[in-house]
Chain A
Amino acid sequence: MANGILVFVELRNGQVRKSSLEALSEARRLAPKGEKPVVAVLVGDNVNAMAGVANKCKPDKILVVNGADFANYSTEGFAAALTDAIKKEDPKYVFAANTSLGKDLLPRVAARFDAPCATDVVEFQKDGDNLLAVRPMYSGKVRATVAFESPIAFATTRPNVFPVVESENGTQAAIEDLPVKPEKIRAKVSATHAAEGQKVELSEARVIVSGGRGIKGPENWGVLQELCDVLGAALGASRAVVDAGWIDHQHQVGQTGKVVSPQLYFACGISGAIQHLAGMNSSKVIVAINKDADAPIFKHATYGLVGDVLEIVPKLTAELKKLNQ
């Protein structure tokens, strides 16, 4: 085929990840049906049941790699599966979502093909028969448009950027089994422990409520968590409060934490250091709540509320609760 797009579709806890459907939808947009083929690849133990979810994004074919070797993620096992899928389909581009798994897997497989990989892509552009990828660098302070000079190139897509396009109509893609036996799996996952204190994951959250120094102390996270619960939001934090030990690093948003692009971002008591802005400036809507009317965060906020976080947030939570009833 040599001109289509192969998309690695990631499964987590028996579910297809939304960010993978975003990558698959973008692949279909770039390679319209009938023009260039799009193939989805699912890897796991008994994954055929999940193929239907991927099917809604209208790939031409779904490859399934099943086996006990793939019950847990391993770099080497999944790299073997993806390598065999690529050899079989000979795509020009290979996509995956820019998740922990995608970031671990794609650069490794790309190196196996002596091929380039663009991570955390936020936009693709067509350049004749080729694709250009736009990716933020310096945590979004600049954007680079990169070109690939290779018969095959890899890319990971930033979660929450590309829309999922699903349809119940049309033909169902053929599901094809691809038997893969990894030569060796040396590094193996022996256990998975849920991280404490985070109900919704930051990088894929639709809404994020973040706190900084303005919440005055770690005893006040509950105030923000209640707002999170009403909105189904993830809890974020500035570097200042992570470094002060008020909360674990997994919550940190910013250049040395997570870069996020939710639909709605609440910056509560966060002044807006360059470090932090870099991590959340691509959010669709930013609400800033801060006592200091001159805080830099207000220059970036869609809606700014000058005032005490600990007074405003509980009242906002109460107002939203009323709405839900």
Chain B
Amino acid sequence: MKIAVCIKAVPDTESKIQVGADKTNIDFSGIRFITSPYDEFAIEEALKLKEKHGGETVVFSVGGAEATEVLRDSLARGIDSAVHLQDAEFANLDPLSTGKVLVAAIKDGGFDVIVCGHQGVGGDHSQVPSIVAELLDWPQVNVLMKFEIEGTNFKAEREIEGAHETVEGPLPVVISAQKGLNEPRYPSIKGVMAARRKEIVVKDAAALGLSGIVGAVHSKMKIKTMTAPPDRPAGRILEGDVDEKIKLLVDLLRKEAQVI
């Protein structure tokens, strides 16, 4: 079994996010990068699949220097090898272009399963797994809560509104992880030491055959402006004893806000 994991380095979810000077991106100064939270479940799922079925795990990430650390963290958790898809042209890609870069790197690897997080926290597009599946012409199952392989088939449980769907089909497949799929492990000290010695393979646009095809200028969706969200109008702290506060609240919700 050969398993690919696609991960992304994203700003820590506790970061204060502000619009940058060029007004088309955020201000990255002082931002600490982490593995996108849903990608941690993807890494864990790949490790579990290997433990159960044997084989090999490879992690891929498109990004600048910030990707090195998250790739090394994946190696420390037990992923066998890492590929860093890095090129000046790969900055500020739209999801379709990111998908094209990943597919160029993954397509000839003989993989049975490609595992992603269901959403890169930050960009919040939730698109790359489906794009990768389409470009490879593989089936896809997104927002996974459960995943099992039997022979050459998979059985997955995916989260939808108010329900879970059981989805079955043949390998190879692209899947995307939701929180709850598994409990990600922490890297062991031994793992961290071993990861330091491992080489991270770096591939650029030329090596992937994507020169002049993929890049921010070729992206078909471009951010024109980025703004802070509109401010909420100032609120009001309700005074009085508990009963008075409640009466006042109900009154305000009915007459002023008109929401009940």
Interface residues of A (CB under 8 A from B): 12, 73, 75-76, 79, 99-101, 103-105, 107-112, 114-120, 132, 135-150, 153, 186-195, 198, 201-204, 207, 231, 248-250, 252, 255-257, 259, 263-264, 273-275, 281-282, 284-288, 293, 298-307, 311-312, 315-316, 319-320, 323
Which of A117, A192, A252, A281 has a CB less than 8 Å from the CB of B165? A192
Residues of B within 8 A of A116 (CB): 94, 96, 219-221
Can you pick out 28 interface pairs between chain A and chain B where the beta carbons lie within 8 Å of each other? A12-B161, A73-B165, A100-B158, A108-B130, A108-B140, A111-B99, A116-B221, A118-B221, A120-B126, A137-B226, A138-B124, A139-B124, A143-B226, A143-B228, A143-B229, A145-B224, A149-B220, A149-B222, A190-B166, A192-B166, A193-B164, A194-B162, A201-B161, A207-B259, A287-B253, A299-B235, A303-B253, A320-B250
Which of A112, A118, A249 has a CB less than 8 Å from the CB of B179? A249
Shortest Cβ distance from residue A183 to the other chain B in the assembled complex, whole angstroms: 10
Asked if B131 and A107 make an inter-chain contact with CB atoms under 8 angstroms apart, the answer reads yes
Residue B123, interface by CB 8 Å:
yes
1/0 contact string of B155-169 vs chain A (CB within 8 Å):
000111111111111
Shortest Cβ distance from residue B160 to the other chain A in the assembled complex, whole angstroms: 4
Interface size of B by Cβ–Cβ distance < 8 Å?
Answer: 78
Sample of 10 further A-B pairs with CB below 8 A, known A75-B139, A303-B257:
A100-B143, A104-B130, A145-B227, A149-B221, A153-B220, A189-B167, A249-B180, A273-B14, A284-B257, A302-B233
Asked if A136 and B229 make an inter-chain contact with CB atoms under 8 angstroms apart, the answer reads yes
Asked if B96 and A303 make an inter-chain contact with CB atoms under 8 angstroms apart, the answer reads no
Asked if B13 and A256 make an inter-chain contact with CB atoms under 8 angstroms apart, the answer reads yes
**Which residues of chain B from 52 to 103 have any CB-CB distance to chain A below 8 Å in the complex?**
94-96, 99
**Which residues of chain B from 126 to 148 have any CB-CB distance to chain A below 8 Å in the complex?**
126-127, 130-131, 133-135, 139-143
Asked if B170 and A255 make an inter-chain contact with CB atoms under 8 angstroms apart, the answer reads no
Residues of A within 8 A of B223 (CB): 144-146
Main secondary structure of the interface of B (DSSP, over half): mixed
Shortest Cβ distance from residue B24 to the other chain A in the assembled complex, whole angstroms: 8
Asked if B134 and A111 make an inter-chain contact with CB atoms under 8 angstroms apart, the answer reads yes
A120 to B119, CA, bound (A): 12
Shortest Cβ distance from residue A219 to the other chain B in the assembled complex, whole angstroms: 22
The chain B residue sitting closest to A304, CB to CB, is: B237
Asked if A138 and B11 make an inter-chain contact with CB atoms under 8 angstroms apart, the answer reads yes
A282 to B164, CA, bound (A): 27
Asked if A119 and B140 make an inter-chain contact with CB atoms under 8 angstroms apart, the answer reads no
Asked if B224 and A141 make an inter-chain contact with CB atoms under 8 angstroms apart, the answer reads no
Asked if B225 and A145 make an inter-chain contact with CB atoms under 8 angstroms apart, the answer reads yes
Shortest Cβ distance from residue B165 to the other chain A in the assembled complex, whole angstroms: 5
Query: By CB atoms of chain A within 10 A, which of B164, B220, B225 has the most?
Result: B220
